[in-house]
Amino acid sequence: MVKKQIELLPIKNDYVFKRIFAYKGNEDVLLNLLEAILERRIVKVTVKNPEMVSEKENGKKFVLDIKAELDDGTIVDIEMQTTDEKNIEERSTVYPTRLISEQLQAGEKYTKLNKAIFIGILDFNYYKRNSYHSITRLRFDEIKEEFYVDMGYSKQDKIASRYIEMHYIELPKYFKKNPSIKTKLDEWLWLFSGDEEKMEMVKRKNKKVKKAMDTLERISLDPKEREMYEAIQTEEFLQRISENNFREEGFTKGKRENKIETAKKMLNKNFNIEEIMELTELSKKEIEKIKSEGDISGHIKK
């Protein structure tokens, strides 16, 4: 019997991504991925927000990032982004600082603070850097000559704080490099390629990658999972339309307010109505209404 071809849900979709890596029983899958990205051994990982949140956060999109705690107390926030919303810099600043602020209660010692790491897997190029995996920490600037003091340090501190760390993995850059599968990170990144040959290869090399693919197949066959995926896609689409309409309305409103302000200034300088109409594109009736309602000195020239 020929096995029926499964139409897989897109693994790079943020909902599907969270469904796989925050799936109960898939903690070892997430652990393996984090080991590959952070290049360190991890004994245990606990997902802190495994639920698929159906309500919106602050009126924005569904909460689909994965927040996890490592065995040493490090808090990690990892998310997949398929659309460049021009806000990665802002998002990657807010996420780790929020993870930091959530840790301590009033009166607790700062020494109890745990490290916070943000990981953004991006399906687009964002930074002007010749690297597909960029890592940043709070570093000191180079010392200016006028600030230099010879303290005898042969080796100076470069990191200002070890508590915040950010990783950006830009998938298009990785696929442009087209590397062979040598590292654990290679095994995971080729999973997002859509290249069936490479995907089959990494499944054979890494049991956790295979488990991730098995989970993808399972949720792809589940009607409820597809319904949820489609509902979120529709909601996000409508949200983008709403935001675009809001921006356009704001722009239109802003243009009109500018025209009104210009008309007021011209009225104050005794420009005639025809000149004001020509420069502001306001009607005679609108200009006369501005005159009657505003604190305009002088008189309109007929």
In the chain, where the domains are located: 14-140+157-221, 223-302
C-alpha–C-alpha distance, residues 34 and 41, integer Å: 9
Contact at 8 Å (CB) between 239 and 61?
A: yes
CA dihedral 147, 148, 154, 159 (to 10 degrees): 10
C-alpha–C-alpha distance, residues 60 and 246, integer Å: 13
**pLDDT beyond 80 at 6:** no
DSSP code, position 106: T
DSSP code, position 269: T
pTM of the model: 0.74
C-alpha–C-alpha distance, residues 272 and 111, integer Å: 70
Residues 6+ apart with CB under 8 A from 158: 139, 140
pLDDT digits (tens, 9 = 90+) for 131-160: 999 999 999 999 999 999 999 999 999 999
Q: What pLDDT does residue 51 have?
A: 78
Which long-range contacts does 100-105 make (Cβ < 8 Å, 24+ apart)? 100/163, 100/164, 103/75
Q: What pLDDT does residue 155 have?
A: 93
Q: Residue 268 — pLDDT band, cuts 50, 70, 90? A: confident
pLDDT digits (tens, 9 = 90+) for 187-246: 999 999 988 888 889 999 999 999 999 999 999 999 998 888 888 877 776 666 656 655
C-alpha–C-alpha distance, residues 203 and 200, integer Å: 5
Percentage of the chain modeled with pLDDT above 90: 50
pLDDT digits (tens, 9 = 90+) for 42-65: 999 999 988 765 444 444 445 689
Amino acid at residue number 286: E
What does the pLDDT average to over 12-41? 95
Closest to 48 measured CA to CA, from 82, 29, 21: 21
Q: What pLDDT does residue 223 have?
A: 92
Contact at 8 Å (CB) between 121 and 88?
A: no
pLDDT digits (tens, 9 = 90+) for 81-91: 998 888 899 98
User: 283 vs 261, 268, 289, 291, 293, CA distance in Å?
Assistant: 14, 18, 10, 12, 15
Contact at 8 Å (CB) between 20 and 215?
A: yes
Q: How many helices (H) and strands (E) does the chain have?
A: 10, 6
Q: What are phi and psi of 54, to 5 degrees?
A: -90, -25
Q: What pLDDT does residue 298 have?
A: 42
**pLDDT beyond 70 at 300:** no
Residues 6+ apart with CB under 8 A from 159: 137, 138, 139, 140
Q: What pLDDT does residue 122 have?
A: 96
Contact at 8 Å (CB) between 88 and 168?
A: yes
Selected residue with higher pLDDT from 34 and 288: 34
